[in-house]
Structure 1
Amino acid sequence: MHIWSRIDRLGRLLADRRKAAFQSHGIEGWEFDVLAALRRAGEPHTLTPGQLLKETFVTSGTMTNRVDRLAARGLVTRTTDPKDRRAVLVAITPAGLALVDAALESLVTVERELLAGLGDDDTARLADDLRRLLQQD
């Protein structure tokens, strides 16, 4: 139980720190998730709503609401796919790109701080141990 209790506490600590990092940029975790998925897509940072669903693991209704809210903030745009007029493309705007990059920088800083007490060998061993644990699932 001591392992699972520590993993649970660590998960809550990480969630709290991530939330604070995102709030310092005026975004919520779900906004970061959508913007980061578009960022990871590479130039031109565009995905279909279906692709966004696969990247963020939410329902289509939830994704529609999220894209609407991000579009209202000027962080994404919605356009018709020139290859298929029935399809929609969601693209990150320059403002959205700047925001997700800044939030990512803050997130990486927070995550580094959480691991600061571990050396490189300890960090590598922990990553390996966690990978093996997750592969059992």
Structure 2
Amino acid sequence: MMNFPFEPRSTSYLRQGQYWSFQLSNGYFACGLVLARTTSEGKLNRTLFLGGLLNWSGPSLPTPSNLKNAGVLQSGFMHIRAIQRNGGEVNGAVDGTWDVAPEVVYTGLTSDGPPIWGYGYIRALAEKHFGDEGWSDKQLRKTA
């Protein structure tokens, strides 16, 4: 049984369905979700995972029941620092069908695979979807 919250230092304790939250500029919260850990040459990648932005925003910290029916808006490969710099802690886990295996092989950036997100991309994406009107696609591209 996992104890929440925890601050991840590597992907070792990350599991599919775990989420972290961060506050937006308008005071609301948004959530990132762990979709899969990544492997390369048969070994777990300690810093890279497949994550996504949940289609949820609210005035207070989320609970698993808040997130139960929230789908994933977009997904990408993320560095563990994306969690550390956007909320800092994994808050809990939510059961769901995420349409991806709990571990995926990372073979590098490909034209038909998920993109690689910079540390702040998930926050910029959340601001675009749920935050103030001031965010633009240009600002979003700067954080990728």
Q: Which of the pair is proportionally richer in strand?
A: 2
Structure with the bigger percentage of helix: 1
Q: TM-score range by the shorter chain?
A: under 0.3
Higher normalized contact order (CA 8 Å, seq sep 6+, divided by chain length): 2
**TM-score (norm. length: structure 2):** 0.24
